[in-house]
Amino acid sequence: MNVDNKKPGRKPLYVYYMVAAVIIILLNVLLIPSIEERKVEKTDYSTFLAGVEKGYVTTVEVQDDYIYYEATSNGQVICCKTVKMDDPNLVERLEKANVKFGAVAPEQPSIFMSILLGYGIPILIFVLLGRWLSKKMMSSMGGGPGGAMSFGKSNAKVYVKSSTGIKFSDVAGEDEAKDLLKEIVDYLHNPQKYREIGASMPKGALLVGPPGTGKTLLAKAVAGEAEVPFFSISGSEFVEMFVGMGAAKVRDLFKQANEKAPCIVFIDEIDTIGKKRDGGIAGGNDEREQTLNQLLTEMDGFDGSKGVVILAATNRPDSLDPALLRPGRFDRRIPVELPDLLGREEILRVHAKKIKIADSVRFDEIAKAAAGASGAELANIVNEAALRAVRDGRKFATQADFEESIEVVIAGYQKKNRVLSNKEKLIVAYHEIGHALVAAKQTESAPVHKITIIPRTSGALGYTMQVDEGEHYLMTKEELENKIATFTGGRAAEELIFHSITTGAANDIEQATKLARAMISRYGMSDDFDMVAMENVTNQYLGGDTSLACSFETQTLLDKKVVDLVKRQHQKALNILQENIGKLHELAKYLYEQETITGEEFMNILQAPPAQIGTAQSNNSSEETTAAQEV
Question: How crowded is the C-beta side of 522, counted as CA atoms within 13 Å?
Answer: 14
DSSP 40-68: EEE--HHHHHHHHHHT-EEEEEE-SSEEE
Residues facing residue 41 across a β-bridge: 80
Residues facing residue 69 across a β-bridge: 60, 80
Q: What's the length of the chain?
A: 631
- Are 348 and 382 within 8 A, CB to CB? yes
Buried b / exposed e along 603-618 (16+ C-beta atoms within 10 A)? eebbeeeeeebeebee
The per-residue pLDDT for 196 is 86
Of 406, 370, 364, 411, the C-alpha closest to 388 is: 406
pTM to 2 decimal places = 0.68
DSSP 84-144: ----TTHHHHHHHTTPEE---SPPPPPHHHHHIIIIIHHHHHHHHHHHHHHHHHHHHHHTS
Cα radius of gyration (the chain): 43
Q: Could you tell me whether strands 230-234 and 263-268 are parallel, antiparallel, or unpaired per DSSP bridges?
A: parallel
How many CB atoms neighbour CB 341 within 10 A? Answer: 18
The per-residue pLDDT for 27 is 67
Give dist(CA 158, CA 172) in Å, integer.
25
The per-residue pLDDT for 378 is 92
Burial class (CB in 10 A: 0-12, 13-18, 19+), 444: middle
Measured in whole angstroms, the distance separating CA 493 from the mean position of its chain's CA atoms is 43
- Calculate the CA dihedral of residues 21, 26, 27, 29 and round it to 10 degrees: 130
Of 345, 366, 358, the C-alpha closest to 398 is: 358
The per-residue pLDDT for 191 is 80
Give dist(CA 537, CA 317) in Å, integer.
13
- Are 344 and 381 within 8 A, CB to CB? no
Selected catalytic residue, list 240, 407, 432, 624: 432
Q: Is 432 labeled as catalytic in the residue annotation?
A: yes
Low-confidence spans in the chain with pLDDT less than 50 = 1-10, 140-151, 162, 281-285, 611-631
Question: How crowded is the C-beta side of 42, counted as CA atoms within 13 Å?
Answer: 6
Q: How far is CA 603 from CA 428, 429, 437, 583, 608, in A?
A: 19, 16, 10, 11, 8
